[in-house]
Structure 1
Amino acid sequence: MPLPLLAYKPLSQNQRVNGFEVAGDEQPRIFSTDSLLSSVELDFLIAAAYRQIYNEQQMLENHRQVTLESQLRSGQITVRGFIRGLALSDSFRRLTFDCNNNYRFAEICIQRILGRNVYSDREKIAWSIVIATKGIQAFVDELLNSEEYLNNFGDSIVPYQRRRILPQRTKGEITFAHMPRYGADYRDRLPKQVYKGDWGAAKLDYVLWEWQKNPPAIVGKIGAGITYAGAGFIGLLILAVLLGL
């Protein structure tokens, strides 16, 4: 039986407070199908959706979801349906879910789908339980069907990072699209994963890196032997020169 969503307090973060800033570069541009006039503007909307969900580090040609794009252009799905398809795509799963734990994955999805940071660790724990008990699809559906998402983006607006401006600061927060797609625990495991791969340049690089960090004892002995032999050879040359004089 699936567990109910763990209760957490919606703290008064920046995006929950009405702002009075003058419009500028720090304010996000809103892309919506309610005001599209041409196919070029629809291209910009699709690119904004990729940038928001896939992160700028993943915006590659082979990650495009051509079928979803065609359905959106023909009106078969809404922007919310397009966002759902991107979040459930194989590319997003491999590059975001497979290289993170459930806590980090929940945080990333809240940032990219709801357009804000998590309120607390309790919220991450609550949504990680949903991922573990109901699966990724149910988790994404609950975010997209939440009152928060519908009130801010509805069916026609591409999600964006809300209210980046902070009081008494000249610059806003860093955009979620520029944050790394995996956590420090996965990053620290990368060298070991390279080592487990096939023999080749990547594995050779790892072996050299390990030797530089922790050289085997035999290497030290060989190096010492070469050093002593070289010193002895140079000494003999100097002696021969002196005898020749």
Structure 2
Amino acid sequence: MAIPLLDYSPTSQNQRVTGFEVFGDEQPRVYSTDNLLSATDMDNLIEAAYRQIFFHAFAADREKYLESQLRSGQITVRDFIRGLLLSNTYKRSFYDLNSNYRYVEQTVQRVLGRDIYNQREKIAWSIVVATKGSKGFIDDLLNSEEYLEAFGYDTVPYQRRRVLPGRSEGELPFNIKSPRYDDYYRGKLGFPQVIWQTTVRTYVPQDKQPKAGNPALFLDMARGIGPKVNPPQRIAASNIDYMTSVPYRRK
């Protein structure tokens, strides 16, 4: 028998602050199937979903079958997000390399678009992971009232209200605030690594690099040539016999 979700009290965060939304460059762009006008818009929506869940998806990490179903209208955006969360890439990158607490924190950030309220919420969802597994935890998040009210079935999750009007700086993005690996696994994998370089590397733009026939290409070769010449004679002026050295006409 699964233990019901423990009660936790929400704290005041940006996404719970109501107010007039002033859109700008730092405001998240909302991707939804309600306003798709072309195939390019669908491509952008899929890329936004990958960025939200994986932060970056390599060619081997892409779920081609789910993409095909989403393009043909067989599944909703919510189903596509569920497929990414249950994929081997997400399991290998987040579930296998983190504790339940950290796995809950990173998944809530990506799915609900907000930070964990407090330690009690982290413990409550960790119990769900322990009793229902990762699949049951993800299903409970996607079926929660908060997710359906914020994103519904057709909108890609995003970090909600990261920037508030009147503040000089907004909240840090989740991928910067919560890196993929915790301290234990970062030490186990041997990073971050500090590499000291003894030589200073320089970069020359392509338009400033010498072309074929430029004398600068032969400068090193010219410097490498060491011609052997006879050294000049060093004779003091007092030792020169001017009378015999200067030619003159003999009678």
Task: String of CA shifts for 1:37-73, please: whole Å, max 9, x gaps.
Answer: 11100000000000001123xx211100000000000
User: Which shows bigger deviation, 173-182 or 21-30?
Assistant: 173-182
Paired residues for 1:103-118 under 5 Å? 103-118=101-116
Aligned-partner Cα distance in 2 for 1:133–1:166: 38
> Match for residue 183 of structure 1?
182
- In structure 1, C-alpha distance between the alignment counterparts of 2:98 and 2:19, rounded to whole Å: 34
Distance 2:30 2:104 in 1: 24
Q: Which runs of 5+ in 1 are unaligned?
A: 193-204, 206-245
- Distance in 2, matches of 1:158 and 1:130, equals 24
2:81 aligned residue:
83
Question: Distance in 1 between the 2:103 and 2:21 partners?
Answer: 32
* Aligned residue in 1 for 2:66: 68
Q: Does 1:174 align with 2:176?
A: no
**8 Å contact from structure 1 (residues 55, 181) kept in 2:** no
Larger mean CA deviation between 96-105 and 180-189 belongs to 180-189
User: Does structure 1 conserve the Cα–Cα contact (< 8 Å) formed by 2:22 and 2:165?
Assistant: no
- 1:14 deviates by 1.1
RMSD: 1.7
Work out the CA distance in 2 between the residues paired with 1:78 and 1:177. 25
Letter matched to residue 141 of structure 1: D
Helix, strand or coil for the counterpart of 1:135? helix
* Offset, 1:189: 2.1
Distance 2:159 2:104 in 1: 16
Partner residue of 1:122 out of 120, 123, 127: 120
Amino acid at match of 1:107: E
Distance 1:117 1:2 in 2: 25
Corresponding residue for 2:95?
A: 97
Quote the sequence identity (%).
Answer: 60
**Cα distance, 1:177 vs structure 2:** 3.4
Match of 2:54 in 1: 54
Structure 1 residue 167, shift from structure 2 partner: 6.7
Gaps of 5+ in 2: 194-251
Question: Which residue of structure 1 lines up, in the alignment, with residue 154 of structure 2?
Answer: 156
CA distance in 2 between counterparts of 1:190 and 1:21 reads 43
Contact 1:104 1:182 in 2 (8 A): no
Deviates more, 1:30-39 or 1:1-10: 1-10
The match for 1:196 is none
Q: Which residue of 1 aligns with 2:33?
A: 33
SS at match of 1:29: coil
Q: Distance in 2 between matches of 1:64 and 1:24?
A: 30
CA distance in 2, matches of 1:156, 1:177: 23
Q: Which amino acid aligns with 1:150?
A: L
Query: Do the aligned residues in 2 keep the contact of 1:52 with 1:177 (CA within 8 Å)?
Result: no
Partner of 2:137: 139
Asked whether the equivalents of residues 33 and 157 of structure 1 are also in contact (C-alpha less than 8 Å), the reply is: yes
| Paired letter, 1:4 | P
**More deviation in 178-187 or 47-56?**
178-187
CA shift, 1:173, in A, is 1.3
TM-score by length of structure 2 reads: 0.73
Q: Secondary structure at the match of 1:85?
A: helix
Question: For residues 75 and 177 of structure 1, what CA distance do their matches in structure 2 show?
Answer: 30
Which structure has the highest helix share of the two?
1
1:171 deviation in Å?
Answer: 1.6
SS at structure 2 position matched to 1:112: helix
Evaluate the alpha carbon distance shift between residue 32 and residue 21 of structure 1 in structure 2; reply closer, same or farther with a 3 A threshold: closer
SS of the residue 2:121 aligns to: helix
